[in-house]
Structure 1
Amino acid sequence: MKVKQFEYKPLAHYSYAIVSNGKMAVIDPERNPLKYYSYAKEHNAVIVAVIQTHPHADFVSSHFQIHQETGATIYNSKLLGADYPHLTFDDGDEITLGDTLLKAINTPGHSPDSITIVATENSEVALFTGDTLFIGDVGRPDLREKAGNMSAKRQQLAEMMFHTIQHKFSDLPDSALIYPAHGAGSLCGKNLSSDNSSTLGQERKFNWAFKETSKEKFVNTLLDSQPFIPSYFGYNVAINKAGAENIRIAKAAVHFSMNAIEKAMVVDVRSEENFKRGHLKGSINIQATSENSKFETWLGAIIKPEESFSLVIEHPADLEVMLERVAKIGYEKQLKSIITLVNENLVKSEKLNLNDFEQHPENYTIVDIRSESEINEGKFFESSLAQPLNELRDTVKNIPIHKPIVVHCAGGYRSAAGSSIIERVVKNQKVYDLSDHIHDFKS
C-alpha cells in the first residue's frame, strides 16, 4: 500500500491517493483532478475508486469529474444524500483495492454523514479521517446547520462527536496512521496542528478530545470559540452533494478583457501597494499575491454565493492561476469577467500619516476587523470598534464617520480588504489602511 498526500495550502486541505497492485483510490480530491491522473500515470495504476468522507464545505471536490473521466466508482455514506451515481460506503462495507482492504466506519460529529476510511494491508493500518479527527483536534460541529433551532443541531452533532471519539476508534491499534483532510489554518476546526499526519496512539495521548471527561465538558469545549463560517460553506456542501461541473468546461465560460471597465462588483487581486496606487472606484482588494495567501477563504467570506463579480488581475499571465483559484470554491459561474486595468479613471487610496496617528489616535475612528475570537483575546487599541471582516459589508453602515477611519487586522493582509470595503461605502471621509504597520503598535 502506497499513500500519497497532496496539500493545497491556501485552504489547508489534504487529499490522498492510495495505490496497491496497480489499482488506485482517490480520497477527498480537490477541484482539479489532473494531479491525481498524473500520479496514477507515474505509478502505472488505474483509478478505480474515489471516496468522499463527507460533502466538504470549504472546497469543491472533483469526485464526479473523476468518475466521468475515468469510470471510477464514487463511494460515500448513504446518509450523504448524493445526487450523483455512487455506491454507499458505511459501517461494515468493504472495498478491495489491489492487496489493500478499505473499510468504512461511520464517524458523525463534524457532519451527520462523515465516514472514516480504514485501509489495511498486511500489518499496516491507515485511517483517512476526513474532518472528523484532525491532528490535535476534531472537526467543528456547526457547519451543517440550516433554518430552525440552530443551537440544538450543533449540540446534537457535538454529542455525536463525543460518541465517535469515545467508541469508534477503540478497536484500532495505536500504530494506525492518521491522515486528516485538513491541517493548521483550516476553518473546519479551531486548534489544528501543523503536522500533516500522526498515529492513533499519539492522538490518544495528546489530542484533547481523547482525554477522559464528561460528555457535557466535551461538548462545551468543542462548541466554544469556533472560528467564523464563511458565506460560501453551505453553498459548497450543496455543490458537492450534486457533483461539480467539469472544471475545464466551467473555466472556459469566463470572459477575459484587456481594457474593460466594469460597473458591477469588482474584486482586485493585486498587491495592496498597486491597488492603493490606482484602482477602479468601489473595488475590493482581496490579495492573491502569493500561492499561499488565503484568497479563496476571503473571496468566499466577502462575496456571497451566486453574487456576480469581476476580477482585476495584474497581468494576463495571471489569468489561468486566478481562474483555478476561483473555481476551488465553485465561484466560477458568478465570475463574469477577468480584466486588466488601463491607467484611466483610476482612484488612489489615502496614505496614513503614521506619526500623527501614533501621537493622536483619539483623532481617528479605529476599526478592528479581526475575528471575534481574536478580539476576545485582547485589543491593540482601547478605543477600537470591532467589525469582523466577514461581516463588514453588512456592518460598515454602523461605523461613525465624523473622524478619519483607520482599519487594522493582526498582520496586514486582511486590512487591505477591510479598508477597501469601507472606502467604497464611505464617501465623505478619509479611510486609511494601517497594513503591516500594526506590528509597531502591538504591545
Structure 2
Amino acid sequence: MKIEQIYTGCLAQGAYYIESEGEVAIIDPLREVNPYLERAEKAGAKIKYIFETHFHADFVSGHVTLSKESGAPIIFGPNANPSFDCIVAEDGQEFPLGNIKIVVLHTPGHTMESTTYLLRDENGKDHAIFSGDTLFLGDVGRPDLAQKAADMTQEQLAGTLYDSLRNKIMPLADDVIVYPAHGAGSACGKNMMKETVDTLGNQKKMNYALRADMTKEEFVKEVTDGLLPPPQYFPLNVKMNKEGYDDIDEVLARGTRSLSPEAFEAAANETGAVVLDVRNQQEFAKGHIPRSIFIGINGGFAPWVGALIGDVKQAILLVAPEGREEEVVTRLSRVGFDNTLGYLEGSFKAWKGASKEYDTVSSVPAAELKKAIESTKTQVFDVRKPSEFEAEHIEDANLAPLDFLNDHLAEFPSEGDFYVHCAGGYRSMIAASILKSRGIHNLIDVQGGMKAIKEAGIPTTDYICPSTIK
C-alpha cells in the first residue's frame, strides 16, 4: 500500500494518491490532472476511483477531467447532486482497492455532502482517514459556507458537524492517521496547524474542537466565533465543481497566447480585461502598465486573485515573468479563473521598449517612514488582517484590511502623502496597485512591512480601539 500526499502550498491544499496491488484512488485532485495520470502510468497501475470529499469552495477540483482521461468513476458522499455522472455513495459503503478498502463515512456539517473516507489496510485495520474539510489539524471546517444550499443557519450546520465528529470520527482509534484537505493559510478554517499530517490521538489532545467534555453549545459558539466573510469567489468555485468546467488544455491554449504591446493594449481597451501583473513587487513598483493590478506569483497568488478579483468570468490579461506564463494560467485555473486572454510578449520590458505610457509606485525603506513619523504628522495604513493588527501595530495607524480594501477607500486622504504597509511587503503592494487603479496616487509603500518597521525602531503597540475595526 502506498499513500502519497500531494500538497500545494499556494492553496494550502492536499490531494491524495493511494495505490494497492496496481489499483489507484485519487482523493480531491487539483485541476491539472497529468501528475496523477503520470504517477499511475509510471507505477504500471490503473486509476480505479476518484473520490471527492465535498464540493470545494476554495479551488476547482480536477475530478471531471481526470474521470474523462482515466475512465475512473467520480465518487461523492450522500446528498451530493452534481450535474455530471458519478457515484453518490451511501454511508458505510465500501470500495475495494487492491487488498485494502476505502469506507464512506458521511460527516455533514461543513457542507451537507461532506464525507470522510476511512482507509482499512490489508488486515482490515483502520489505518487512515481522508477528512476533507470536516477535520483539519488544529481546527474543523467552517460551517457558514453551505447555509444557502442547505437552507440552514451556520449554527445548525455547526451542530451537525459536532454530531459528525463525535459519532463518526472521534470513536476511531488514536493511531489512525489524519490526512486533511487543507493546512494553515486556507480560508476554509481559522486555526489550522502548519503540519499537514497527524494522528487522530494527537488531534484529540491538541484540537480545541475535539475536547472530550465539550458540549454542543460550546462547540457551536467556538466554531462560529470570529469567522470572517468568505471570499466572493467561493460560491463560484462550488458551482464549477458541481456543474463542470472546460478542460485544462483548453484553458491553457486560450490563456497562453502571446500578444505584442500593441495587441495587448488593444485587447485591454476592447475587452475590459483586468491587466494582472504577477512579477515581483519591487519590479512592479519601478514600472507597470497604468491601472494594472499587482498580485505576485511568488506569494499567496491564487487565493488573493480569488478574493480581490472575485468574478471567475472576468477577462484577464497577464504581465508575467518570461517563461512562467503557463504556470500563471494554470494557477489561475485552480481557482476557476479560466478567462485569461493572453500575456504580454516580452513582459513589461517590451511595453517600456515600445515607448508605452507606464506608472510607478513610490516604495521606501522603513527608515524613511521613521523619519516622516518623527518630523511631521503622518498617516499610516496597515492592510493586514484585524488579528495581526490587534497583536501589534504602529501607534495611531489606521486599519484597512486588504480583503476589504474597497470598503475603506473614503478613509484615504486626498491630499498629502500617506504610507501603506503589511507584514512583509507583498500585500501592501497589492493594496497600492488597487488604490492607484482607483485614482489614489498619493501613497508610499513601506518595503519589508512590519518586520522592517520593528527593525527600524518605529514605536508599536498592541492596544486597539474598537472603533477602528470595521
Normalised TM-score (structure 2): 0.87
What is the aligned length? 434
Q: C-alpha displacement at 1:220, in angstroms?
A: 1.3
In the alignment, what sits opposite 1:125?
Answer: 127
Q: C-alpha displacement at 1:124, in angstroms?
A: 5.0
40-49 or 384-393, which moves further after superposition? 384-393
Q: C-alpha displacement at 1:441, in angstroms?
A: 2.7
In the alignment, what sits opposite 2:317?
Answer: 310
In the alignment, what sits opposite 1:295?
Answer: 301
Q: In the TM superposition, what whole-angstrom CA distance separates every residue of 1:9-59 from its partner, at most 9, and x where no partner exists?
A: 101110001111111110000010111111111221110110100011111
Q: In the TM superposition, what whole-angstrom CA distance separates every residue of 1:217-262 from its partner, at most 9, and x where no partner exists?
A: 1111111223452221111111001123210112212232132223
Q: C-alpha displacement at 1:440, in angstroms?
A: 3.4
Q: Is the 8 A contact 2:382 2:422 kept in 1?
A: yes
SS state at 1:253 partner: helix
Map of 1:7-406 to 2, 5 A cutoff? 7-121=7-121, 122=123, 123-146=125-148, 153-211=153-211, 212-254=213-255, 255-259=257-261, 260-261=264-265, 262-263=268-269, 264=272, 265-288=274-297, 290=298, 293-305=299-311, 306-315=313-322, 317-333=323-339, 335-339=340-344, 340-341=347-348, 342-343=351-352, 344-352=356-364, 354-355=366-367, 357-361=369-373, 363-375=377-389, 377-406=390-419
Cα distance in 1, alignment partners of residues 335 and 236 from structure 2: 9
Q: What one-letter code is carried by the residue in structure 2 that aligns with 1:385? A: N
346-355 or 190-199, which moves further after superposition? 346-355
Residues 47/148 of structure 1: CA separation in 2 closer, same or farther (3 Å cut): closer
Q: Is the 8 A contact 2:365 2:446 kept in 1?
A: no
Q: Is the 8 A contact 1:228 1:371 kept in 2?
A: no
RMSD: 2.0
In the alignment, what sits opposite 2:445?
Answer: 433
Q: In the TM superposition, what whole-angstrom CA distance separates every residue of 1:41-83 from its partner, at most 9, and x where no partner exists?
A: 1221110110100011111111011111111011002312211
Q: C-alpha displacement at 1:299, in angstroms?
A: 0.7
Cα distance in 1, alignment partners of residues 149 and 14 from structure 2: 31
Cα distance in 1, alignment partners of residues 24 and 303 from structure 2: 30
105-114 or 261-270, which moves further after superposition? 261-270
Q: What one-letter code is carried by the residue in structure 2 that aligns with 1:383? A: D
Q: Is the 8 A contact 2:384 2:401 kept in 1?
A: yes
Residues 253/351 of structure 1: CA separation in 2 closer, same or farther (3 Å cut): closer
Q: C-alpha displacement at 1:140, in angstroms?
A: 1.2
Residues 368/228 of structure 1: CA separation in 2 closer, same or farther (3 Å cut): farther
353-362 or 386-395, which moves further after superposition? 353-362
Residues 436/355 of structure 1: CA separation in 2 closer, same or farther (3 Å cut): closer
Q: What one-letter code is carried by the residue in structure 1 that aligns with 2:284? A: F
Q: Is the 8 A contact 2:37 2:70 kept in 1?
A: no
Q: Is the 8 A contact 1:364 1:403 kept in 2?
A: no
Residues 441/22 of structure 1: CA separation in 2 closer, same or farther (3 Å cut): same
Cα distance in 1, alignment partners of residues 53 and 150 from structure 2: 26
**Percent sequence identity over aligned pairs:** 33
Residues 23/351 of structure 1: CA separation in 2 closer, same or farther (3 Å cut): closer
Cα distance in 1, alignment partners of residues 407 and 149 from structure 2: 20
SS state at 1:112 partner: coil
SS state at 1:173 partner: coil
Residues 245/357 of structure 1: CA separation in 2 closer, same or farther (3 Å cut): same
Cα distance in 1, alignment partners of residues 385 and 27 from structure 2: 32
Q: Is the 8 A contact 2:141 2:189 kept in 1?
A: yes
Cα distance in 1, alignment partners of residues 363 and 119 from structure 2: 57
Q: C-alpha displacement at 1:147, in angstroms?
A: 9.3
Cα distance in 1, alignment partners of residues 23 and 94 from structure 2: 15
Q: Is the 8 A contact 1:76 1:90 kept in 2?
A: no
Q: In the TM superposition, what whole-angstrom CA distance separates every residue of 1:379-431 from its partner, at most 9, and x where no partner exists?
A: 5123222221112134324423233121111221100100111122235x521
Q: What one-letter code is carried by the residue in structure 1 that aligns with 2:416? A: K
Q: Is the 8 A contact 1:225 1:373 kept in 2?
A: no
Normalised TM-score (structure 1): 0.93
